[in-house]
Amino acid sequence: MRSKLNKVRDIVYSLSAKSKTEPSSEAIYHYLFTRDLKNIGIADTFYPVGSAANYSLLYFILRCLRELNITNVLELGCGQSTLLIDKVKTKMNSSFDVCTVEHDDFWAKSMAQNVQHDIVSTGLAPIEVAGHAIDYYRLDEVFRENRKFDFVVVDGPPAYKEETKYARMGCVTIIDRCLAPDFVLVLDDTERDGEAAAVAACRDRLRGRGIEFQENQIVAAKRQHVFCSPKYAKAAFF
């Protein structure tokens, strides 16, 4: 009986998630992304499939790195977006710094062989955020200095299972400890309930700290939510 109920729940969740996305728009972001790659001389060797970053997220990251005066990038979870950030930095001879945080040591070491910036491997530890007990990155092991990030990409830790549904709510702690006064904060997979809750928690924390911001959503095969300070307000319209 429980197995049947779980299957029904999974079907309902899948249909609900799909109703919050616009898969037909993915082709538009695919075109824009590959066009911009070509313009700056980067080969399209990316695989935006499965659980990897989709075209709308890659498009947004690429456009921010090209058009905004980004100085410090923090990426939570590594993958296709990690490769993109590295290639943009190298090809455009950009001076921004990058820190990628990954909980899976094997995956972190594998990805580190393909990029020139730091990939910090750190385990997950229990914390409580907005009433949810979750396992989140051991940030004390990552940030041993007063470093501030003006571009934050939240695509980890994994949150696709019921038991890890709210895992990404830990990104709220980034606002408290290392978000620069001028910033772009983008959360991936916000068509899912857990990430939607993380968006609401981030909004509440920004307001609670009196931080002025704008926000918007990008909707394609997946959904991303963007928060940005007035200096980077145009990112809300990318």
Predicted local distance difference test score (pLDDT) of residue 6: 45
- Name the residue ranges covered by the structural domains of the chain: 22-237
Q: By C-alpha distance, which of 118, 113, 136 is closest to 194?
A: 136
| Mean pLDDT across 52-76 | 97
Amino acid at 196: A
3-state secondary structure at position 159? coil
* CA atoms of 231 and 237, how far apart (whole Å): 13
Encode pLDDT of 137-184 as tens digits: 998 877 767 889 999 999 989 999 899 999 999 999 999 999 999 999
Query: What one-character-per-residue DSSP string does 80-121 give?
Result: HHHHHHHHHHHHTT---EEEEEES-HHHHHHHHTT-SSEEEE
* CA atoms of 229 and 222, how far apart (whole Å): 24
| Mean pLDDT across 86-111 | 94
Q: By C-alpha distance, which of 145, 211, 201, 207 is closest to 178?
A: 145
Tell whether the model's pLDDT for residue 54 goes beyond 70: yes
CATH number of this structure's domain 22-237, picked from the four choices 3.40.50.800, 3.90.1010.10, 3.40.50.150, 3.40.1830.10: 3.40.50.150
Q: Phi/psi class of residue 77: alpha, beta or left (left: φ > 0; alpha: ψ in -120 to 50)? A: left
Encode pLDDT of 36-46 as tens digits: 999 999 999 99
pLDDT band, residue 12 (cuts 50/70/90) = very low
Tell whether the model's pLDDT for residue 25 goes beyond 90: yes
3-class SS string, 160-206 = CCHHHCCHHHHHHHHHHHCEEEEEEEEECCCCCHHHHHHHHHHHHHH
* CA atoms of 228 and 183, how far apart (whole Å): 5
pLDDT band, residue 87 (cuts 50/70/90) = very high
